[in-house]
Structure 1
């Protein structure tokens, strides 16, 4: 997907334009509390908003972990394998018992999340 090109006037506080620039980024005025980890821009409204925490249920059964209630389109990475979530629960099967890290990321409106999953031989 190609980014759009936006045009911006660079202006002084008295209103004088000092130049014009272009780029693929939207510039949205914000205060010092905004950062890229905790906030995102809702492009439909042009407003900066807080990212939401991921809320989901985790269950294990033997060597299988199931994460239910995840939003569609999230990237899940476990044990070097990536997949994208859909409207079904995410089921991850591991080969050997142990504690594994599952990283959930990729949707701008949600905080990235890492969860530890312990699976056992049943």
Structure 2
């Protein structure tokens, strides 16, 4: 049995399909190995032959200034979630301002990176 990744134009995998060639329509799919999943991989489309690549770990820094958290060096298009709100880091930078001091969970997601949840305290 073969495994195939169905993916979006960005390279984000949205499902893995298993089946025998000829039994399923493999047009637009890429054959992938046993360990590939939508949670741990994406399709690298930077070369002429597309292939599954393991997601990277986020390597970003942030600073806290009073009630604000500033992220720098985020991959372009990173989705930043906090308290049900979302913003997209279009330029690699994201600033979040809070109204009340406390500890907040901030989630960073990007299809080429493993999701990361940070606990950040603002005062």
TM-score normalised according to structure 1 size: 0.73
Could you say what the CA RMSD is over the residues aligned between the two structures, in angstroms? 2.5
Question: Deviation string for 1:22-77 (max 9, x for gaps)?
Answer: 3786141313x323222222134321111011111111011001111101111111
Cα deviation for residue 80 of structure 1 reads 1.5
Consecutive unaligned residues in structure 2, runs of 5 or more: 1-7, 10-19
Are the aligned partners of 2:79 and 2:88 in contact in 1 as well (CA < 8 Å)? yes
Counterparts in 2 of 1:114 and 1:47: CA distance versus 1, 3 Å: same
- Map 1:45-60 onto structure 2 (within 5 A): 45-60=49-64
Which of 111, 116, 119 aligns to 1:113? It is: 116
Consecutive unaligned residues in structure 1, runs of 5 or more: 5-9, 12-18
1: distance between equivalents of 2:92 and 2:41?
27
TM-score normalised according to structure 2 size: 0.72
